Structure 1
Protein backbone atom coordinates (compact mmCIF):
# COMPACT_ATOMS: atom_id res chain seq x y z
CA UNK A 1 0.00 0.00 0.00
CA UNK A 2 2.83 2.41 0.86
CA UNK A 3 4.49 1.84 -2.50
CA UNK A 4 1.14 2.42 -4.24
CA UNK A 5 0.67 5.76 -2.42
CA UNK A 6 4.16 6.84 -3.42
CA UNK A 7 3.63 5.75 -7.03
CA UNK A 8 0.41 7.78 -7.22
CA UNK A 9 2.11 10.85 -5.74
CA UNK A 10 5.08 10.57 -8.09
CA UNK A 11 2.88 9.96 -11.15
CA UNK A 12 0.71 13.01 -10.45
CA UNK A 13 3.65 15.32 -9.78
CA UNK A 14 5.68 14.05 -12.74
CA UNK A 15 2.71 14.37 -15.10
CA UNK A 16 1.61 17.84 -14.05
CA UNK A 17 5.11 19.30 -13.70
CA UNK A 18 6.87 17.79 -16.70
CA UNK A 19 9.29 20.44 -17.97
CA UNK A 20 8.71 22.74 -14.95
CA UNK A 21 11.38 21.76 -12.41
CA UNK A 22 11.09 24.61 -9.89
CA UNK A 23 7.32 24.37 -9.43
CA UNK A 24 7.77 20.58 -9.21
CA UNK A 25 10.38 20.99 -6.48
CA UNK A 26 8.13 23.52 -4.73
CA UNK A 27 5.35 20.92 -4.55
CA UNK A 28 7.81 18.23 -3.43
CA UNK A 29 9.17 20.44 -0.65
CA UNK A 30 5.65 21.36 0.46
CA UNK A 31 4.74 17.68 0.60
CA UNK A 32 7.99 16.69 2.33
CA UNK A 33 7.22 18.89 5.35
CA UNK A 34 3.93 17.13 6.08
CA UNK A 35 5.17 13.94 7.79
CA UNK A 36 6.99 15.97 10.41
CA UNK A 37 3.83 17.96 11.17
CA UNK A 38 1.90 14.70 11.42
CA UNK A 39 4.46 13.17 13.78
CA UNK A 40 4.47 16.30 15.94
CA UNK A 41 0.67 16.32 16.09
CA UNK A 42 0.41 12.70 17.16
CA UNK A 43 3.30 13.04 19.61
CA UNK A 44 1.58 16.01 21.24
CA UNK A 45 -1.71 14.11 21.33
CA UNK A 46 -0.06 11.08 22.95
CA UNK A 47 1.71 13.34 25.45
CA UNK A 48 -1.52 15.15 26.31
CA UNK A 49 -3.30 11.85 26.86
CA UNK A 50 -0.40 10.61 28.99
CA UNK A 51 0.54 7.73 26.69
CA UNK A 52 4.13 8.79 26.19
CA UNK A 53 6.33 11.82 26.33
CA UNK A 54 9.12 11.79 23.79
CA UNK A 55 10.82 15.17 24.00
CA UNK A 56 13.85 14.07 22.01
CA UNK A 57 11.63 12.81 19.21
CA UNK A 58 9.75 16.11 19.17
CA UNK A 59 13.03 17.99 18.83
CA UNK A 60 14.15 15.82 15.94
CA UNK A 61 10.81 16.10 14.13
CA UNK A 62 10.81 19.87 14.60
CA UNK A 63 14.41 20.19 13.39
CA UNK A 64 13.60 18.16 10.28
CA UNK A 65 10.53 20.30 9.67
CA UNK A 66 12.70 23.41 10.08
CA UNK A 67 15.16 22.03 7.51
CA UNK A 68 12.36 21.35 5.03
CA UNK A 69 11.09 24.90 5.57
CA UNK A 70 14.40 26.23 4.27
CA UNK A 71 14.17 24.02 1.20
CA UNK A 72 10.66 25.35 0.59
CA UNK A 73 11.83 28.97 0.98
CA UNK A 74 14.56 28.30 -1.58
CA UNK A 75 12.06 26.94 -4.09
CA UNK A 76 9.80 29.94 -3.51
CA UNK A 77 12.74 32.29 -4.12
CA UNK A 78 13.36 30.48 -7.42
CA UNK A 79 9.73 31.26 -8.34
CA UNK A 80 8.54 27.70 -7.88
CA UNK A 81 5.31 28.97 -6.34
CA UNK A 82 4.69 31.80 -8.78
CA UNK A 83 1.44 30.38 -10.20
CA UNK A 84 -1.56 30.19 -7.90
CA UNK A 85 -2.50 26.81 -9.40
CA UNK A 86 0.81 25.36 -8.17
CA UNK A 87 0.20 26.71 -4.67
CA UNK A 88 -3.39 25.42 -4.64
CA UNK A 89 -2.33 21.95 -5.82
CA UNK A 90 0.48 21.78 -3.26
CA UNK A 91 -1.78 22.82 -0.39
CA UNK A 92 -4.60 20.52 -1.44
CA UNK A 93 -2.20 17.62 -1.75
CA UNK A 94 -0.76 18.23 1.70
CA UNK A 95 -4.21 18.28 3.31
CA UNK A 96 -4.87 14.77 2.05
CA UNK A 97 -1.31 13.60 2.66
CA UNK A 98 -1.32 14.94 6.25
CA UNK A 99 -4.32 12.84 7.25
CA UNK A 100 -2.98 9.75 5.49
CA UNK A 101 0.28 10.07 7.44
CA UNK A 102 -1.56 10.75 10.73
CA UNK A 103 -3.65 7.59 10.28
CA UNK A 104 -0.64 5.56 9.19
CA UNK A 105 1.44 6.85 12.12
CA UNK A 106 -1.27 5.92 14.63
CA UNK A 107 -1.56 2.41 13.19
CA UNK A 108 2.10 1.79 12.37
CA UNK A 109 4.74 4.45 13.11
CA UNK A 110 7.37 2.39 11.32
CA UNK A 111 5.31 2.34 8.13
CA UNK A 112 4.77 6.10 8.34
CA UNK A 113 8.52 6.67 8.66
CA UNK A 114 9.16 4.25 5.80
CA UNK A 115 6.72 6.14 3.56
CA UNK A 116 8.43 9.42 4.42
CA UNK A 117 11.80 7.84 3.68
CA UNK A 118 10.56 6.78 0.23
CA UNK A 119 9.27 10.30 -0.53
CA UNK A 120 12.56 11.84 0.66
CA UNK A 121 14.53 9.37 -1.45
CA UNK A 122 12.45 10.22 -4.51
CA UNK A 123 13.02 13.94 -3.94
CA UNK A 124 16.76 13.43 -3.48
CA UNK A 125 16.99 11.41 -6.70
CA UNK A 126 14.96 14.07 -8.51
CA UNK A 127 17.34 16.81 -7.36
CA UNK A 128 20.39 14.76 -8.31
CA UNK A 129 19.00 14.07 -11.78
CA UNK A 130 18.16 17.76 -12.25
CA UNK A 131 21.61 18.90 -11.10
CA UNK A 132 23.35 16.43 -13.38
CA UNK A 133 21.17 17.28 -16.36
CA UNK A 134 21.42 21.08 -15.98
CA UNK A 135 24.83 21.44 -14.31
CA UNK A 136 26.36 23.66 -17.00
CA UNK A 137 23.36 26.00 -17.23
CA UNK A 138 23.01 26.24 -13.46
CA UNK A 139 26.66 27.23 -13.00
CA UNK A 140 26.16 30.12 -15.43
CA UNK A 141 23.07 31.43 -13.60
CA UNK A 142 23.56 34.07 -10.92
CA UNK A 143 22.34 33.23 -7.44
CA UNK A 144 18.91 34.82 -6.97
CA UNK A 145 19.17 37.91 -4.76
CA UNK A 146 16.17 36.84 -2.70
CA UNK A 147 17.47 33.34 -1.99
CA UNK A 148 17.26 32.79 1.77
CA UNK A 149 20.47 31.83 3.45
CA UNK A 150 20.28 29.56 6.46
CA UNK A 151 22.81 31.61 8.36
CA UNK A 152 20.70 34.77 8.00
CA UNK A 153 17.56 33.11 9.33
CA UNK A 154 16.92 32.50 12.99
CA UNK A 155 18.94 29.54 14.19
CA UNK A 156 17.26 27.28 16.69
CA UNK A 157 19.29 25.60 19.40
CA UNK A 158 17.34 22.41 20.04
CA UNK A 159 19.28 21.61 23.20
CA UNK A 160 18.15 24.73 25.06
CA UNK A 161 15.18 25.89 23.01
CA UNK A 162 16.76 29.30 22.50
CA UNK A 163 17.24 31.28 19.33
CA UNK A 164 19.94 33.67 18.29
Structure 2
Protein backbone atom coordinates (compact mmCIF):
# COMPACT_ATOMS: atom_id res chain seq x y z
CA UNK A 1 0.00 0.00 0.00
CA UNK A 2 1.33 3.42 -0.93
CA UNK A 3 2.68 5.50 1.93
CA UNK A 4 1.50 9.02 1.17
CA UNK A 5 -0.06 11.92 3.08
CA UNK A 6 -3.62 11.12 2.10
CA UNK A 7 -3.30 7.47 3.07
CA UNK A 8 -1.51 8.33 6.33
CA UNK A 9 -4.22 10.74 7.48
CA UNK A 10 -7.07 8.42 6.52
CA UNK A 11 -5.40 5.52 8.29
CA UNK A 12 -4.69 7.57 11.42
CA UNK A 13 -8.34 8.63 11.66
CA UNK A 14 -9.60 5.08 11.09
CA UNK A 15 -7.48 3.85 14.00
CA UNK A 16 -9.59 5.88 16.44
CA UNK A 17 -11.98 2.94 16.25
CA UNK A 18 -10.77 0.45 18.92
CA UNK A 19 -11.72 -2.60 16.84
CA UNK A 20 -9.94 -1.31 13.73
CA UNK A 21 -6.92 -0.34 15.81
CA UNK A 22 -6.66 -3.76 17.40
CA UNK A 23 -6.96 -5.52 14.04
CA UNK A 24 -4.22 -3.28 12.63
CA UNK A 25 -1.99 -3.68 15.69
CA UNK A 26 -2.30 -7.42 16.39
CA UNK A 27 -0.30 -8.89 13.47
CA UNK A 28 2.86 -7.06 14.58
CA UNK A 29 2.52 -7.43 18.34
CA UNK A 30 4.46 -10.67 18.36
CA UNK A 31 7.46 -9.59 16.31
CA UNK A 32 10.66 -10.98 17.81
CA UNK A 33 13.44 -8.44 17.52
CA UNK A 34 17.10 -9.38 17.34
CA UNK A 35 19.37 -9.09 20.37
CA UNK A 36 21.15 -5.89 19.30
CA UNK A 37 18.00 -3.75 18.85
CA UNK A 38 16.46 -5.31 21.98
CA UNK A 39 19.51 -4.33 24.03
CA UNK A 40 19.78 -0.81 22.60
CA UNK A 41 16.03 -0.21 22.71
CA UNK A 42 15.82 -1.37 26.31
CA UNK A 43 18.66 0.98 27.25
CA UNK A 44 17.08 3.99 25.53
CA UNK A 45 13.65 3.41 27.11
CA UNK A 46 15.14 2.78 30.56
CA UNK A 47 17.34 5.89 30.38
CA UNK A 48 14.41 7.97 29.17
CA UNK A 49 12.20 6.81 32.04
CA UNK A 50 14.94 7.64 34.53
CA UNK A 51 15.40 11.17 33.17
CA UNK A 52 11.82 12.07 32.19
CA UNK A 53 9.86 9.83 34.58
CA UNK A 54 7.62 6.79 34.15
CA UNK A 55 4.42 8.84 34.06
CA UNK A 56 3.39 10.26 30.65
CA UNK A 57 3.20 14.06 30.49
CA UNK A 58 3.36 16.90 27.98
CA UNK A 59 7.06 17.51 28.64
CA UNK A 60 7.92 13.83 28.47
CA UNK A 61 6.18 13.63 25.10
CA UNK A 62 8.06 16.69 23.89
CA UNK A 63 11.31 14.89 24.72
CA UNK A 64 10.08 11.64 23.15
CA UNK A 65 9.19 13.40 19.91
CA UNK A 66 12.53 15.22 19.71
CA UNK A 67 14.11 11.77 19.80
CA UNK A 68 11.51 9.88 17.75
CA UNK A 69 11.93 11.89 14.55
CA UNK A 70 15.67 11.34 14.11
CA UNK A 71 15.75 7.67 12.93
CA UNK A 72 13.75 8.61 9.85
CA UNK A 73 16.20 11.35 8.96
CA UNK A 74 19.12 9.01 9.62
CA UNK A 75 17.64 6.34 7.30
CA UNK A 76 17.16 8.87 4.53
CA UNK A 77 20.76 10.06 4.98
CA UNK A 78 22.11 6.51 5.12
CA UNK A 79 20.15 5.54 1.99
CA UNK A 80 21.60 8.58 0.20
CA UNK A 81 25.10 7.56 1.31
CA UNK A 82 24.66 3.97 0.09
CA UNK A 83 23.15 5.05 -3.24
CA UNK A 84 26.21 7.20 -3.90
CA UNK A 85 28.28 4.01 -4.14
CA UNK A 86 25.79 1.76 -5.96
CA UNK A 87 23.68 4.01 -8.20
CA UNK A 88 24.14 1.64 -11.13
CA UNK A 89 22.30 -1.12 -9.23
CA UNK A 90 18.64 -0.47 -10.06
CA UNK A 91 17.33 -3.13 -7.66
CA UNK A 92 19.29 -1.64 -4.78
CA UNK A 93 18.17 1.86 -5.73
CA UNK A 94 14.53 0.71 -5.61
CA UNK A 95 15.08 -0.86 -2.20
CA UNK A 96 16.58 2.38 -0.90
CA UNK A 97 13.82 4.40 -2.55
CA UNK A 98 11.16 2.55 -0.57
CA UNK A 99 12.93 3.35 2.67
CA UNK A 100 13.51 7.00 1.75
CA UNK A 101 9.86 7.55 0.81
CA UNK A 102 8.70 6.10 4.13
CA UNK A 103 11.38 8.01 6.06
CA UNK A 104 10.55 11.40 4.55
CA UNK A 105 6.85 11.07 5.27
CA UNK A 106 7.47 9.82 8.79
CA UNK A 107 9.95 12.53 9.72
CA UNK A 108 7.52 15.23 8.55
CA UNK A 109 4.82 13.59 10.66
CA UNK A 110 7.08 13.37 13.71
CA UNK A 111 8.18 16.98 13.23
CA UNK A 112 4.53 18.01 13.40
CA UNK A 113 4.27 16.07 16.67
CA UNK A 114 7.20 17.82 18.33
CA UNK A 115 6.24 21.32 17.16
CA UNK A 116 2.61 21.09 18.27
CA UNK A 117 3.36 19.25 21.51
CA UNK A 118 5.98 21.90 22.29
CA UNK A 119 3.29 24.55 21.88
CA UNK A 120 0.95 22.70 24.21
CA UNK A 121 3.60 21.85 26.81
CA UNK A 122 4.53 25.52 27.10
CA UNK A 123 0.94 26.17 28.16
CA UNK A 124 0.63 23.20 30.50
CA UNK A 125 3.91 22.51 32.32
CA UNK A 126 7.03 24.31 33.48
CA UNK A 127 10.10 23.09 31.59
CA UNK A 128 13.62 22.66 32.91
CA UNK A 129 16.11 23.76 30.23
CA UNK A 130 18.64 21.03 31.04
CA UNK A 131 16.21 18.14 31.45
CA UNK A 132 13.67 19.01 28.79
CA UNK A 133 15.83 20.71 26.12
CA UNK A 134 19.52 19.83 26.41
CA UNK A 135 19.17 16.16 27.39
CA UNK A 136 16.62 15.31 24.64
CA UNK A 137 19.00 16.85 22.09
CA UNK A 138 21.83 14.63 23.40
CA UNK A 139 19.55 11.59 23.24
CA UNK A 140 18.62 12.55 19.67
CA UNK A 141 22.27 12.94 18.64
CA UNK A 142 23.11 9.51 20.07
CA UNK A 143 20.01 7.90 18.53
CA UNK A 144 20.63 9.45 15.11
CA UNK A 145 24.11 8.02 14.75
CA UNK A 146 23.08 4.69 16.25
CA UNK A 147 20.30 4.36 13.68
CA UNK A 148 22.56 5.56 10.86
CA UNK A 149 25.36 3.08 11.61
CA UNK A 150 22.94 0.21 12.15
CA UNK A 151 21.28 0.96 8.82
CA UNK A 152 24.64 0.88 7.04
CA UNK A 153 25.67 -2.37 8.72
CA UNK A 154 22.33 -4.19 8.96
CA UNK A 155 19.17 -2.21 8.11
CA UNK A 156 16.92 -4.76 9.82
CA UNK A 157 18.44 -3.88 13.20
CA UNK A 158 17.76 -0.18 12.70
CA UNK A 159 14.12 -0.84 11.77
CA UNK A 160 13.63 -3.16 14.73
CA UNK A 161 15.11 -0.57 17.08
CA UNK A 162 12.56 1.93 15.77
CA UNK A 163 9.80 -0.66 16.19
CA UNK A 164 10.68 -0.95 19.88
CA UNK A 165 10.88 2.81 20.43
CA UNK A 166 7.60 3.45 18.63
CA UNK A 167 5.97 0.62 20.61
CA UNK A 168 6.97 2.39 23.79
CA UNK A 169 5.62 5.72 22.48
CA UNK A 170 2.32 4.10 21.50
CA UNK A 171 1.94 2.60 24.98
CA UNK A 172 2.73 5.92 26.67
CA UNK A 173 0.20 7.85 24.58
CA UNK A 174 -2.44 5.17 25.21
CA UNK A 175 -1.87 5.44 28.95
CA UNK A 176 -1.97 9.26 28.81
CA UNK A 177 -5.32 9.21 27.01
CA UNK A 178 -6.71 6.75 29.53
CA UNK A 179 -5.48 8.61 32.60
CA UNK A 180 -6.41 12.16 31.51
CA UNK A 181 -9.34 11.67 29.16
CA UNK A 182 -11.72 14.14 30.82
CA UNK A 183 -9.11 16.88 31.19
CA UNK A 184 -7.83 16.48 27.63
CA UNK A 185 -11.29 16.58 26.08
CA UNK A 186 -12.10 19.98 27.57
CA UNK A 187 -8.96 21.71 26.23
CA UNK A 188 -9.17 23.14 22.68
CA UNK A 189 -6.27 23.06 20.23
CA UNK A 190 -5.26 26.18 18.34
CA UNK A 191 -2.08 25.62 16.32
CA UNK A 192 -1.19 27.34 13.07
CA UNK A 193 1.45 24.68 12.40
CA UNK A 194 -1.11 21.90 12.79
CA UNK A 195 -3.41 23.62 10.30
CA UNK A 196 -0.50 24.10 7.90
CA UNK A 197 0.31 20.41 8.17
CA UNK A 198 -3.28 19.63 7.22
CA UNK A 199 -4.47 17.95 10.39
CA UNK A 200 -7.52 18.99 12.37
CA UNK A 201 -8.17 18.31 16.04
CA UNK A 202 -10.72 20.11 18.20
CA UNK A 203 -9.27 19.09 21.56
CA UNK A 204 -6.04 17.91 23.15
CA UNK A 205 -7.65 14.46 23.35
CA UNK A 206 -8.29 14.31 19.61
CA UNK A 207 -4.75 15.47 18.90
CA UNK A 208 -3.07 12.93 21.17
CA UNK A 209 -5.39 10.22 19.89
CA UNK A 210 -4.15 10.81 16.35
CA UNK A 211 -0.51 11.06 17.48
CA UNK A 212 -0.90 7.72 19.26
CA UNK A 213 -2.20 6.27 16.00
CA UNK A 214 0.73 7.75 14.07
CA UNK A 215 3.18 5.96 16.36
CA UNK A 216 1.38 2.68 15.77
CA UNK A 217 1.55 3.23 12.00
CA UNK A 218 5.29 3.91 12.22
CA UNK A 219 5.78 0.86 14.43
CA UNK A 220 4.02 -1.44 11.98
CA UNK A 221 5.61 0.10 8.91
CA UNK A 222 9.10 -0.48 10.30
CA UNK A 223 8.46 -4.23 10.30
CA UNK A 224 6.65 -4.14 6.95
CA UNK A 225 9.82 -2.71 5.40
CA UNK A 226 11.54 -5.93 6.47
CA UNK A 227 8.70 -8.29 5.52
CA UNK A 228 8.22 -6.78 2.07
CA UNK A 229 11.86 -7.42 1.23
CA UNK A 230 13.03 -3.83 1.17
CA UNK A 231 15.59 -4.59 3.89
CA UNK A 232 17.77 -7.43 5.04
Measured against the shorter chain, the TM-score band is 0.7 to 0.9
Residue of structure 2 aligned with 1:42, choices 72, 75, 78: 78
Aligned to 2:193: 148
Aligned positions, number: 153
Q: 2:58 and 2:192 mapped to 1: Cα distance?
A: 13
TM score, norm. by length of structure 1: 0.83
More helix by share: 2
Q: Which residue of 2 is the match for residue 161 of structure 1? A: none
Structure 1 unaligned spans of 5+: 156-164
Partner Cα distance (1:8, 1:121) in 2? 14
Decide which moves more: 54-63 or 40-49: 54-63
Structural mapping, 1:25-36, within 5 Å: 25-36=61-72
CA 47–25 in structure 1, closer or farther in 2 if over 3 Å, else same: same
The answer for the alignment partner of 1:9 in structure 2 is 44
- Quote the offset at 1:82 in angstroms: 4.3
Q: Residues of 2 paired with 1:56 and 1:107: CA distance?
A: 18
TM-score, length-normalised on structure 2?
0.60
> CA shift at 1:55, angstroms?
2.9
Structure 1 residue 125 and structure 2 residue 171: aligned? yes
Q: Give the whole-Å Cα distance in 2 for the aligned partners of 1:120 and 1:146.
A: 24
Q: Structure 2: give runs of 5+ residues left out of the alignment.
A: 1-35, 200-232
Identify the residue that residue 104 of structure 1 maps to in structure 2: 150
Q: Per-residue deviation at 1:56?
A: 3.6
Taking only aligned residues, the RMSD between alpha carbons, in angstroms, comes to 2.2
How far is the alpha carbon of 1:79 from its aligned partner?
2.3
Q: Give the superposition deviation at 1:46.
A: 1.1
CA distance in 1, matches of 2:160, 2:183: 35
Give the SS at the match of 1:141. Answer: coil
Contact 2:68/2:110 (CA < 8 Å) preserved in 1?
yes
Q: How far 1:20 sits from its partner (Å)?
A: 6.5
1:106 Cα shift?
1.3
Secondary structure of 2:59's counterpart equals helix
Secondary structure in structure 1 of the residue aligned to 2:193: coil
How far 1:21 sits from its partner (Å)?
Answer: 0.9
Mean CA deviation greater in 126-135 or 18-27: 18-27
The one-character-per-residue Cα deviations of 1:44-103 (angstroms, maximum 9, x if unpaired) are: 011112254233432221011111111111211112694422111111111111111111
